[in-house]
């Protein structure tokens, strides 16, 4: 019977393609998946070659080696991208230090990457439609947010993260309010800024409002803006 070399050929082809994709940031996941497949097919092909069921041992080893190489490179590239996003440069003089910083409403927090976020004093906002207003015992408050990029790299405003608590209870974002803005899908060039409004539903009685802000999910420092509302 003629030797069956299909697994070895498949492993080599997958390994070559995986190696090409593995070097490309954000696309390296394809190289990771193809690399795993090349390892599987390559392992089967090497086993078949040792059993003399196939005669392409060298090709099988090459496919297996390329799969392993693509697997390692794709993980390394992904790690370097994540590290570059979360890495910090020496902070400017007005940058908050530590894992948590506290600010009063109307203040500004600045991160080491140059992201600068100002949260204005909360203000009451009425429902535009009485049938789509806040729930019983609740009210809406709006905060004006200004994001400024004082760094040297573009900043994706869409990555900004907000959470809110009022009187030790979670305050949900009031998506039904026409005053509420979605996060701008824009990249801020160095030196530019953008403003938008976030509306939250809070308890009707007065209490402490605590708004947490992070410029992105990888930021190690969270800024808290607090005040009685």
pTM beyond 0.85, yes or no: no
- Nearest in space to 189 (alpha carbons), one of 156, 162, 211: 156
- List the chain residues with pLDDT less than 70: 1-3, 86-98
Tens-digit pLDDT profile for residues 170-193: 999 888 888 888 778 888 999 999
Note the pLDDT of residue 142.
94
Note the pLDDT of residue 86.
63
Tell me the backbone φ, ψ of residue 97, rounded to 5 degrees.
-115, 160
Burial zone of 136 (CB within 10 Å; 0-12 exposed, 13-18 middle, 19+ buried)? exposed
CATH code for the domain defined by 100-228: 2.60.40.1240
Note the pLDDT of residue 95.
47
- Nearest in space to 70 (alpha carbons), one of 47, 39, 26, 44: 39
Q: In whole angstroms, what is the distance from residue 62 CA to residue 9 CA? A: 10
Give the residue range(s) of CATH 2.60.40.1240 domains in the chain. Answer: 100-228
Mean of the per-residue pLDDT values of the chain: 86
Note the pLDDT of residue 170.
92
């Amino acid at each position: 019977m003629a030797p069956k070399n299909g697994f070895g050929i498949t492993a080599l082809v997958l390994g070559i393609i995986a190696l090409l994709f593995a070097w490309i940031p954000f696309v390296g996941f394809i190289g990771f998946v193809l690399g795993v497949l090349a390892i599987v097919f390559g392992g089967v092909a090497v086993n078949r070659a040792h059993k003399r069921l196939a005669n392409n041992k060298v090709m099988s080893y090459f496919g297996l080696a390329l799969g392993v190489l693509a697997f390692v490179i794709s993980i390394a590239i992904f790690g370097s991208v994540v590290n570059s996003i979360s890495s910090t440069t020496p902070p400017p003089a007005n940058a908050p230090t530590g894992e948590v910083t506290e600010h009063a409403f109307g203040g500004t927090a600045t991160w080491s990457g140059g992201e600068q976020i100002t949260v204005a004093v909360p203000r009451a906002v009425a429902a535009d439609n009485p049938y789509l207003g806040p729930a019983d015992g609740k009210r809406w408050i709006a905060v004006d947010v200004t994001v400024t990029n004082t760094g040297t790299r573009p900043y994706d405003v869409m990555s900004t993260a907000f959470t809110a608590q009022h009187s030790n209870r979670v305050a949900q974002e009031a998506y039904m309010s026409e005053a509420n803005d979605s996060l701008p899908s824009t990249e801020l060039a160095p030196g530019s800024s953008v403003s938008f409004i976030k509306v939250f539903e809070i308890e009707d009685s007065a209490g402490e409002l605590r708004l947490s802000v992070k410029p992105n999910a990888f930021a190690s420092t969270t800024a808290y803006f607090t005040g009685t509302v």
